[in-house]
Amino acid sequence: MKKTLFVIKLLILFISMPVTVSAVSEISLSKIDRPQNAILFIVDGFGSSYFYPEYSPEGLDGSALVKARAGNFSFGARVADIRTGRPVTGIAHSMIVTGFSDAFEETVGYPDATIFDVTREHGFVNLAVMQTGDFINMRNEQDIILYAENNSVEDPLMTIQAEKAPPGIYDVMYEWKMKLPAYMNKTKGVGKYIALNRWGIDSANAVATEMIKKHPSQRFFLTMNIGEIDSGGHNMGDDDYVKLIEALDADFYPIYRTALENNIALFVTADHGMSFATLNARRGGHSSDKYSTKLESVRIPFIILSPNTVTGVIAGEYGQEDIAPTLLSVLDLPSNLQYSDGNAINIKKYASVFVRSDPKYKVSLWNNGQKVSERSDSEVIFSGLPLNSSYTIKATGNGINFEEKVSLDSDKQFNLIKPGRGSSISNRGLIAIILILIVNITGILIIKRIKD
Ligand SMILES: [Zn+2]
């Protein structure tokens, strides 16, 4: 039985591998300042209610809680009201990376489901330094990851999993793994949590800095997760939780500088927030029935620094599933996320049109009856288009005659590949999902039989 499962798993791996070598043609219609690299900075349990100027946190009993001073988290484009639908660590991390409001850890492993699949397809390496949210499917999306094997502040255990790491990055991660005891040395109480968070930020900063120095032309997407704001909220009181946020605010500054000075887009967010029963409660929570519907548990930050985005407070209500499409839009990558039901938040200074096409088609962009540009490729990207303008997309040749007018209030996507004709990736994706389901059901049956 185990052998059969192994064979099916190999088959899934094979089917999930991209079949077509896709080529991308990109045309910039104006000078755009696009970020070269990206850092996704996820802080576990980092409720925006506790540091956004707009909010005043409350306990379950309605008592006013103390706020953190966190001035370093007030840069770039700051989305004021964005919430997670499920304040549970693994699920919320899955929503962040898939842009799907019903995602769970399994979804992250499906073909073409995550932002990592899109970045990899467009030449990025995926690097990660994670203290929580690093479940197996998340780790497997990374080319290399330094992660915490346990969730212990007393005795943290770090491990490296490497697939195709750029030269030298394993060594940097190993060096930082070995530096952890020095960070933790002689710390106690809330200081232990602060030290572990600081180590996480400094390690990730060292990885980014190494990439910039040694591999300047290799684009990278660095995911990081800071785990101890959440642990502190669970194990200590609201006063210590706020102290941890203030320490994070100070320790965050060096990686912010790295991003600002090196054309790196920086996205700060959280999986969920944290709630406390009352002022001076001795422990908090976010996922149990008592806490999970509280605004303090579901309201998360989303703050973006990038040369091509606007600055200021972004009004409106958004969901955690909007983070992935927004991130891809800022990187000027198509939001080809198989399961996403999120929408890009309009923070980019221009619009881009992504056309998934057949190299035999001629894809052209028209404005006021004039042809602006024409290309043939499996993916054609027209970027740097003025917002709120109107264009017409046309595709001709090899039996296609496509024409559609678009008003560019934001990025637009077209898929000219008809189902059953060249859409082998999505068919293979479907087969892979069915096989994954078979493996899971068989696994459950085996476990059930063993238990019985
Ligand atoms: Zn969490």
The pair of structure tokens assigned to 30 is 């104006």
- Contact criterion met (CB below 8 Å) for 207 and 169: yes
Q: Separation of 276 CA from ligand 1 center, angstroms?
A: 15
Give the sign of the dihedral formed by CA 213, CA 214, CA 219, CA 220: negative
CATH label, 351-415, candidates 2.60.40.10, 2.60.120.620, 2.40.50.140, 3.30.460.10:
2.60.40.10
3-class secondary-structure state, position 221:
strand
Q: Separation of 157 CA from ligand 1 center, angstroms?
A: 18
Q: Where are the chain's structural domains?
A: 35-330, 351-415
Residue 169's pLDDT is 98
Q: What is the pLDDT of residues 381-413, one digit of tens each?
A: 999 999 999 999 999 998 899 999 999 988 999
Q: Separation of 146 CA from ligand 1 center, angstroms?
A: 18
Residue 437's pLDDT is 72
Residue 20's pLDDT is 43
Same fold, 35-330 and 351-415: no
Identify the segments of the chain with pLDDT beneath 50.
16-21, 420-426
Q: Separation of 41 CA from ligand 1 center, angstroms?
A: 14
Q: Separation of 434 CA from ligand 1 center, angstroms?
A: 30
Q: Separation of 153 CA from ligand 1 center, angstroms?
A: 15
- Contact criterion met (CB below 8 Å) for 227 and 44: yes
Q: Separation of 297 CA from ligand 1 center, angstroms?
A: 10
Q: Separation of 193 CA from ligand 1 center, angstroms?
A: 15
Q: Separation of 299 CA from ligand 1 center, angstroms?
A: 13
CA 91 to each of CA 108, 168, 294: distance values in angstroms, whole numbers, following the listed order: 10, 33, 17
Q: Separation of 174 CA from ligand 1 center, angstroms?
A: 26
Q: Separation of 14 CA from ligand 1 center, angstroms?
A: 33
- Contact criterion met (CB below 8 Å) for 49 and 279: no
Looking only at the bridges linking them, the beta strands covering 362-367 and 370-375 are: antiparallel
Helical H runs in 275-388?
289-292, 295-298, 323-330
Cα separation, 315 vs 78, whole angstroms: 9
Looking only at the bridges linking them, the beta strands covering 390-397 and 400-407 are: antiparallel
The model's pTM:
0.87
Q: Which residues pair with 129 in a beta bridge?
A: 146, 224
Q: Separation of 315 CA from ligand 1 center, angstroms?
A: 25
Q: Separation of 105 CA from ligand 1 center, angstroms?
A: 13
Cα separation, 348 vs 1, whole angstroms: 52
Cα separation, 193 vs 9, whole angstroms: 39
Residue type, 159: T
Place of tokens 């997670």: 84
Q: Separation of 138 CA from ligand 1 center, angstroms?
A: 14
Residue 204 has phi, psi (to 5 degrees) of: -65, -40
Q: Separation of 273 CA from ligand 1 center, angstroms?
A: 8
The DSSP string of 101-152 is TT--GGGGGSTT-SHHHHHHHTTPEEEEEESSS--HHHHHT-SEEEEESS--
Cα separation, 329 vs 306, whole angstroms: 11
Residues in Cβ contact with 79 at an 8 Å cutoff, skipping those fewer than 6 apart: 301, 302, 303, 304, 314, 318, 345
- Contact criterion met (CB below 8 Å) for 321 and 99: yes
- Contact criterion met (CB below 8 Å) for 414 and 355: yes
- Contact criterion met (CB below 8 Å) for 107 and 94: yes
Cα separation, 4 vs 14, whole angstroms: 15
Residue type, 397: G
Query: What is the torsion angle, in degrees rounded to the nearest 10, for the CA atoms of residue 387, residue 318, residue 341 and residue 392?
Result: -10
Q: Separation of 93 CA from ligand 1 center, angstroms?
A: 8
Does domain 35-330 correspond to CATH entry 3.40.720.10? yes
The pair of structure tokens assigned to 368 is 């006021």
Q: Separation of 29 CA from ligand 1 center, angstroms?
A: 42
CA 70 to each of CA 161, 232, 270: distance values in angstroms, whole numbers, following the listed order: 33, 17, 15
Q: Separation of 45 CA from ligand 1 center, angstroms?
A: 5
Q: Separation of 90 CA from ligand 1 center, angstroms?
A: 7
Angle between helix 228-235 and 238-261 (nearest 10):
170
